């Protein structure tokens, strides 16, 4: 009762479309949080009630009150559920179409899904605002290590912080106020960092929610962000080619792991790569990450809002809104060229003529066979034969392997780029050539 195709009474027979009708009822049950037939209710049958509210555009009056749902996802979901209940069997959709529409509804909802996360189960990670204020001298500028329009990062020592070996931490303070987007970024990053565990992904140590304050407490890093070693020409330490390769491999491992978990970072850049005391690399700042939808043939999302920094963004994603794992691969390719050339992607040296940014200049030089001229001068000390001296610069086989995979990563289109699994393999090969030369 409440599920049966009404056409059965008229025709005396069933078809595939009879199942479609019943499934439409289940879809509305799921949305409204009630059974198809409730004898004690004034509106005992859900189907006519759901159809009435759909036709009058008042679905919010009957959906489950505590259900958090993206508005566009609700429109897509309720439309396919309603179409299943058509009195005319011939007008009901096939199951292949229904599956496709439900996956689109999921795709629309995923970017906002994590705003409903329950932080109570993480209460052991809560840190008092008073302790954070004391550690940073009320968020004094002298403790700032980086900032963006969304957040400011400080480094400080937390008094009474119980986590072993982490008395010195990074405090990430999101912009205060009622800005929905900043609050969403805060919650998304907590959700991600409590789910993923990888040695090359930054560790969440705690968080603070107090009035309008939204703060993350993260593990500290001793050797700053990667971009510091590309920007500061007076830095006291010079990264060797071997160290640079190991940094690249660390990042590649982390990205390969994220992609295996159906996660796209969307903001890979040298500013979001931290270096620990042993020069190990960790990916940080996950406020723009996104999940890929399950069971989708090409595993892609189509988004109107583009995330990421100008000089690192995948051009196909930027032009079409099509986001894939290969969008992260492109951004990582830009980082590879930064490490090779010893300059950040937006260095003013790459803003001359038609070149706009490091990646454009690197692709052009690669095709002209002159890319070696762009390599960080610190890495090469030339002899009379114009060859690299191996005790300081890269081994030629190592260099060639590195350049080839970096160039493939920054291909114009997504389908021309390698997977991160392939990138890891090639970078390891480049390190092997370097260490055995």
Residue 300 has pLDDT above 90, yes or no: no
- 431 — pLDDT class (breaks 50, 70, 90): very high
Determine the Cα–Cα distance for residues 245 and 249; give it in Å rounded to an integer: 6
> Which superfamily does CATH assign the domain made up of 7-116 to?
Transferase(Phosphotransferase) domain 1 (1.10.510.10)
> What pLDDT, on a 0 to 100 scale, did the predictor assign at position 247?
97
pLDDT digits (tens, 9 = 90+) for 251-278: 999 999 999 999 999 999 999 999 998 9
Determine the Cα–Cα distance for residues 47 and 59; give it in Å rounded to an integer: 13
pLDDT digits (tens, 9 = 90+) for 151-196: 899 999 987 665 545 568 999 999 875 444 556 778 888 889 998 9
Which residue carries 């850049």 as its tokens? 269
Determine the Cα–Cα distance for residues 105 and 233; give it in Å rounded to an integer: 50
Q: Where are the beta strands (DSSP E) in 74-167?
A: 144-147, 151-157
Q: Where is average pLDDT lowest: 24-33, 110-119, 279-288? A: 110-119
Q: Which CATH number fits domain 228-436: 1.10.510.10, 1.10.10.60, 3.40.50.300, 3.40.1160.10?
A: 1.10.510.10
Q: Are 89 and 35 in contact (CB under 8 A)?
A: no
pLDDT digits (tens, 9 = 90+) for 97-125: 999 999 888 877 765 454 455 566 688 88
Residues annotated as part of the active site:
267
pLDDT more than 90, % of the chain: 58
Q: Taking the domains of the chain in order of start, what are their residue ranges?
A: 7-116, 119-219, 228-436
* Range 291-306 average pLDDT: 77
> What region does 224 belong to: left with phi over 0, alpha with psi -120 to 50, or beta?
left
> What pLDDT, on a 0 to 100 scale, did the predictor assign at position 83?
96
> What pLDDT, on a 0 to 100 scale, did the predictor assign at position 257?
96
Q: Which CATH number fits domain 119-219: 3.40.640.10, 3.30.200.20, 3.30.950.10, 3.40.50.1820?
A: 3.30.200.20
DSSP code string of 273-324: EEE-TT--EEE---TT-EEPPTT-TT--EE-SS--S-TTTS-HHHHHH-EE-
> What pLDDT, on a 0 to 100 scale, did the predictor assign at position 232?
62
Q: Name the token pair of 397.
A: 């086989």
User: Is the whole model's pTM more than 0.85, yes or no?
Assistant: no
Q: Name the token pair of 173.
A: 């303070």
Q: Name the token pair of 65.
A: 């009150």
Q: Where are the beta strands (DSSP E) in 51-150?
A: 144-147
* Closest by CA position to 264, among listed 204, 188, 171: 188
The chain-wide mean pLDDT, for the chain, equals 87
- Which among 133-142, 206-215, 372-381, 385-394 has the top mean pLDDT? 133-142
């Amino acid at each position: 009762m409440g599920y049966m195709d009404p056409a059965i009474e008229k025709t005396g027979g069933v078809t595939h479309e009879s199942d479609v009708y019943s499934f439409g009822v289940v879809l509305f049950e799921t949305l409204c949080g009630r059974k198809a037939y409730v004898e004690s209710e004034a509106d005992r049958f859900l189907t006519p009630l759901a159809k009435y509210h759909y036709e009058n555009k008042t679905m919010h009056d009957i959906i489950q009150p505590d259900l958090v749902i993206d508005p566009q996802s609700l429109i897509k979901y309720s439309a396919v559920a309603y179409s299943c209940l058509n009195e005319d069997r011939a007008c009901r959709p096939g199951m292949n179409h229904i599956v496709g529409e439900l996956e689109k509804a999921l795709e629309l909802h995923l970017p906002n899904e994590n705003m409903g996360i329950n932080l109570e189960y993480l209460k052991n990670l809560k840190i008092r605002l008073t302790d954070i204020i004391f550690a940073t001298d009320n968020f004094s500028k002298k403790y700032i290590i980086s900032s963006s329009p969304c957040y400011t990062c400080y480094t400080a020592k937390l008094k009474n912080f119980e986590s072993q070996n982490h008395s010195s931490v990074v405090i990430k303070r999101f912009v205060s106020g009622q800005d929905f987007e900043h609050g969403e970024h805060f919650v998304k990053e907590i959700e991600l960092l409590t789910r993923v565990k990888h040695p090359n992904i930054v560790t969440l140590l705690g968080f603070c929610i107090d009035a309008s304050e939204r703060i993350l407490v993260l593990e500290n890093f001793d050797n700053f962000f990667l971009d510091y070693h590309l920007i500061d020409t007076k830095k006291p330490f010079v990264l060797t080619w071997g160290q640079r390769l190991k940094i690249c491999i660390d990042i590649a491992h982390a990205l390969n792991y994220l992609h295996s978990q159906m996660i796209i970072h969307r903001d890979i850049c040298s500013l979001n790569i931290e270096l620990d005391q042993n020069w190990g690399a960790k990916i940080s700042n996950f406020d723009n990450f996104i999940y890929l939808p399950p069971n989708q043939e090409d595993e892609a999302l189509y988004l109107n809002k583009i995330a990421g920094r100008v000089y690192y963004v995948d051009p196909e994603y930027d032009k079409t809104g099509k986001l894939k794992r290969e969008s992260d691969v492109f951004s990582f390719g830009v980082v590879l060229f930064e490490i090779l050339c010893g300059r950040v992607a937006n260095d003013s040296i790459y803003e001359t003529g038609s070149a706009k940014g490091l990646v454009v200049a690197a692709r052009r030089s690669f095709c002209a066979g002159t890319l070696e001229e762009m390599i960080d001068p610190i890495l090469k000390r030339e002899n009379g034969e114009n060859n690299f001296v191996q005790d300081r610069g890269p081994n030629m086989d190592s260099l060639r392997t590195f350049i080839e995979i970096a160039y493939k990563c920054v291909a114009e289109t997504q389908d021309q780029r390698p997977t991160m699994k392939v990138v890891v393999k090639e970078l390891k090969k480049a390190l092997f050539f370097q260490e055995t030369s």
